[in-house]
Amino acid sequence: RRRRDRTARATGDARDDAMARNQEKANGMFNKWTSGKQDALRGSVSRSRPFHTHAAKDLNEADRWRSDVLRDVGRKVMEIQNAGLGEHKIRDLNDEINQLLKEKWQWEMRIIELGGPNYIASAPKVEDADGGAVQPPGTAGDRKAYKYFGAAKNLPGVKELFEAPVTKAVRRTRHQMNLHIDSGYYGFRDEEDGVLLKDEAEAEQQLQAEAIEQYKTEQKLRELEGGGGTRKKASTVADAGRQFVAHVPLVDEADIEREVLNRKKQELLAKYVSEDLQAQEASAKTMLH
C-alpha cells in the first residue's frame, strides 16, 4: 500500500510537470505570435536579409538592409582585431568582411536605382578600426581590390604586401639624358614669353647709364689733370659749332690711285730689272732732286 502511494504520488508529480511544460510552451508560442502580429501591424516584420538586392521593391527597405550590412561589417571588424583567434578563423572573418562590403555596394546601387541618395559618391575611405590602410600599396582607389582588416594584415604573406618597397636609385646613362634634350635646353625658346627681352632691356639701360657716368667721371679727371680751363673752353666752342676737326691728314681718291700705281711699278721693276740697274736709277733720281 505504501508502495502504491509512492507510485501514485510520483505519477501525479510527473503529470503536473508535463502540464507545466506544456503550459510554458503554449505561453511561449503565444508570446511569439503576439510579437509577430504587432511587428506586422507596425510594418517592421523581422526576416532574413534577401539574397538578391532586386527583391527589395521599396527604398526604405533597401536602406534598412544596407544599414543591416553595415552593422555586420562593424561587428566583424571589431572581432577580427583579436590576434588570438587563429590563422584560419582570421582568414574566414576577413573573407566574410570583404563579401559584406561587396553586398553593401550592391545595396547602394539598388538604392540609386530606386531613386535614393548616392552613398557611393559620398562614402568615406574604407579604413581599419585603428585608422590604418586596408589595401596594399598600389591598389588604392580600386574598389574590387581585396582588403585586409585587423589581425589579417599580420598574417604570413600579407604583412609583406603592406611594407613599402625599397626603391633603388637607378643612374641614367648619357644616352638616356640626351633623349630628353630639345631646343629649349640650349635657350632657343627663351624669348618666346617676353620675360627675357624685358630683363635684357632693363639691364642694357642700366649698363648704358653706368658707362655714361663713368665717362663723365673720367672726363672730369682729365680736365683737372691737364689744366681743364682751356680744354673745357675749346670743347665748349667745338660743341657750339657742331664741326668736326680732323687733326690727321686724310688721303683722297687720287692719292690712293697714285700709291697703287707706284706699288705695281715697283713690283714690275723688281721682277724684270736687275739690282744694279735699280741702284743706278735711284742715284739718278737723287741727283735730279
What does the pLDDT look like over 146-178, one tens digit per residue? 888 888 888 888 777 767 666 777 888 888 888
> Is pLDDT of 240 > 50?
no
The pLDDT of residue 52 is: 86
Q: In this structure, what C-alpha cell is assigned to residue 88? A: 584560419
Distance CA 214, CA 207 (A): 10
Average pLDDT, the chain: 76
> Is pLDDT of 114 > 50?
yes
In 10 A of CB 56, how many CB atoms? 21
65 burial via Cβ count (<10 Å: 0-12, 13-18, 19+): buried
Work out the percent of the chain whose per-residue pLDDT is above 90: 8
* 128 close to 77: Cβ distance less than 8 angstroms: yes
The pLDDT of residue 45 is: 47
The pLDDT of residue 14 is: 59
The pLDDT of residue 123 is: 73
> Could you give the count of Cα atoms lying within 13 Å of 129 in the half-sphere of its Cβ?
16
Opening angle at CA 260, ends 255 and 265, nearest 5: 125
Instruction: Enter the pTM of the model.
Output: 0.42
The pLDDT of residue 126 is: 66
pLDDT digits (tens, 9 = 90+) for 54-91: 888 888 888 989 999 999 988 998 898 888 888 889 98
> Is pLDDT of 31 > 60?
yes
